Structure 1
């Protein structure tokens, strides 16, 4: 077999934001590895490498891309879209978030790299989303051909249905944070404003101050978006780095976030959350939303004092089980613990 012939047993996992296989692709990676596929990993945080290494990375990737049967990505990966792909090679976009919230892709000015003139989603053969509600939004925002966006559920969500995994993560959490036992764990997991190159986060220090004033039985864990590491290094030290945000969800009693899609992952647990959005009016103007967040089953705080009142009065309990069920069904309805199976069935038909 010539090297340039497409090998259907050859699979590439690629990402430009992480040095390891991202969480959003791990379940698919594990499955295909078990099934004996020849897997190559091209995952590198591009913000941490120089020009020469970047060129070497792309050159090596493109050589394997030309012979691979399948390429899996979970965010924009420009090398995939920057050439005329061979028809036999299939590109599957697993995407890294579920639900509908902030605008993305070509619907907003900050999501697509300004210096890239091509179509960032060219060459995609399959795009997986979390519910039927997402399909038309993805098609428009990412300029996708009709029919390639499928509500298969997200591969990243299957693990949340694994009882053994949930038990292990709870045990691991309390082994690291034994003082949290008997308290309500509150996870503050904010997103960022701007773009990945120059991210900001309004509210980090304010949330910490709120919890310093609370006497209630809460235990706060702060997990900012990874893009904020350089801007806010003090929040990426010590025990906070031991577990990922996803690892903490099984033990979380209340989630606080702003515009992060983590709330959709968390909704699979049907537990309460709070939206802390001190910059919401500016965010509406600069980024915008696909949905009205005031209709979410969650209280909204725009100031530290409002957040403190919600936590003291526990108004996050004002929503019913049906409210959470309806919310989850609308935005995460295809994520039922078998998304990897669903995706692979679609891949077989490509």
Structure 2
């Protein structure tokens, strides 16, 4: 890390923490204030949305929302600096502060135990490494993924990976089920007869921004005209990827978008899901439809990011290094594909299908006293 960046982070850490301590002692934590915060989107989606609605229906709480779409552009970085001061105020004055991803200002704080922070991580399963499991993740002046009191995970098997990723005790990883899966439990798994065929492609986020993503997307678009049938193709770009320079001249059957809420709604309507390393494939396994892997940079990604599992063996899904090979598979083998590998993924990642994950999380969080001393 360069000396200039270290100085900048040191100043930010001082500024955020000073603001936090001021707000804490002047305005004080409010026992009924619950704040839902994200920098992934301009509105609550998935776990946060589901749990917010549960709090709204079941409890008498002062509910606050902090949303900002951070896409790593220069404009976004500058805007986030100012709005993050508001976020620090909400941390200081909330009894429960609930997030779903990386939340930079939080990691600068000498947090008081009266402010209880819950990480509702936006993804299920433990495929690619995240957080402090990544190489050199804890070397920064501001150590990421700290100050979590509780982390909600989907299954018992997920707990150890999140312990490693977030530097918490195993007792702090709560296998209560992912709230966003409650919606799937109420969703039909069958497609309408004579529906129009749809593919959904969702490449994951990479630290080198849009370069790898753009290359893969271009390859799929170039190969798409060789599809035998009249497919509609939906391409979902990760919310952190800066795609301001849109890919031009898209065919009418190809739809490029950047909306985490839309990709979840589309899942129930598509015939097959394509990704490289996105955990969304685990969500999609619920529908028991084909999952294909398009991983032209697998060796590099495995070296730089890493996995908690033997990725290709764990998924046992058809895997392709080139777009033409994948299109050929879709044309000739997809209609007769054996879906046992998808059913096995569903069995591993959906142990609770009662639609009550959000209720379980709500019941636990509302049992915590204002000093955060509740134990599992």
Q: Pick the aligned partner of 1:265 from 271, 283, 307.
A: 283
Q: CA RMSD in A?
A: 3.1
Shift of 1:119: 3.2
Q: Secondary structure at the match of 2:212?
A: coil
Counterpart-to-counterpart distance in 2, 1:316 and 1:113: 46
Shift of 1:215: 1.7
Shift of 1:154: 1.2
CA contact (8 A) 1:190 1:260 kept: yes
Q: What is the count of residue pairs matched by the alignment?
A: 334
Return closer, same or farther for 1:235/1:11 CA change in 2, 3 Å cut-off: farther
Equivalent residue number for residue 142 of structure 2: 118
Once the two structures are superposed, residues 42-100 of structure 1 have per-residue CA deviations (whole angstroms, 9 ceiling, x without a partner) of 22234465777544423333233222111110001122232222222211111011112
Shift of 1:297: 4.0
Counterpart-to-counterpart distance in 1, 2:267 and 2:322: 25
Counterpart-to-counterpart distance in 2, 1:235 and 1:151: 44
Q: Pick the aligned partner of 1:293 from 311, 334, 358.
A: 311
Counterpart-to-counterpart distance in 2, 1:342 and 1:140: 24
Once the two structures are superposed, residues 4-54 of structure 1 have per-residue CA deviations (whole angstroms, 9 ceiling, x without a partner) of 343221111112232222433111112222334212222223446577754
Once the two structures are superposed, residues 95-147 of structure 1 have per-residue CA deviations (whole angstroms, 9 ceiling, x without a partner) of 0111122111122248x597x42332222111111222211111112212231
Equivalent residue number for residue 18 of structure 1: 41
Q: Pick the aligned partner of 1:309 from 328, 336, 342.
A: 328
Equivalent residue number for residue 319 of structure 1: 338
Q: Is the counterpart of residue 97 in structure 1 residue 109 in structure 2?
A: no
Larger deviation, residues 234-243 vs 73-82:
234-243
Shift of 1:334: 4.3
Q: Is the counterpart of residue 211 in structure 1 residue 227 in structure 2?
A: no
Equivalent residue number for residue 82 of structure 1: 108
Q: Pick the aligned partner of 1:32 from 50, 55, 76.
A: 55
Larger deviation, residues 290-299 vs 273-282:
290-299
Equivalent residue number for residue 174 of structure 1: none
Counterpart-to-counterpart distance in 1, 2:216 and 2:79: 36
Larger deviation, residues 279-288 vs 251-260:
279-288
Q: Secondary structure at the match of 1:282?
A: helix
Counterpart-to-counterpart distance in 2, 1:72 and 1:316: 43
* TM-score normalised per structure 2: 0.78
Counterpart-to-counterpart distance in 1, 2:231 and 2:291: 14
1:44-59 matches, within 5 Å, as 44-46=68-70, 47=72, 49=75, 53-59=79-85
Return closer, same or farther for 1:308/1:84 CA change in 2, 3 Å cut-off: same
Equivalent residue number for residue 237 of structure 2: 224
Equivalent residue number for residue 12 of structure 2: none
Structure 2: runs of 5 or more not aligned: 1-24, 369-373
Q: Pick the aligned partner of 1:183 from 180, 196, 199.
A: 196
Equivalent residue number for residue 200 of structure 1: 212
1:220-259 matches, within 5 Å, as 220-230=233-243, 233-234=246-247, 240-241=256-257, 244-259=262-277
Structure 1: runs of 5 or more not aligned: 172-179
Shift of 1:194: 2.2
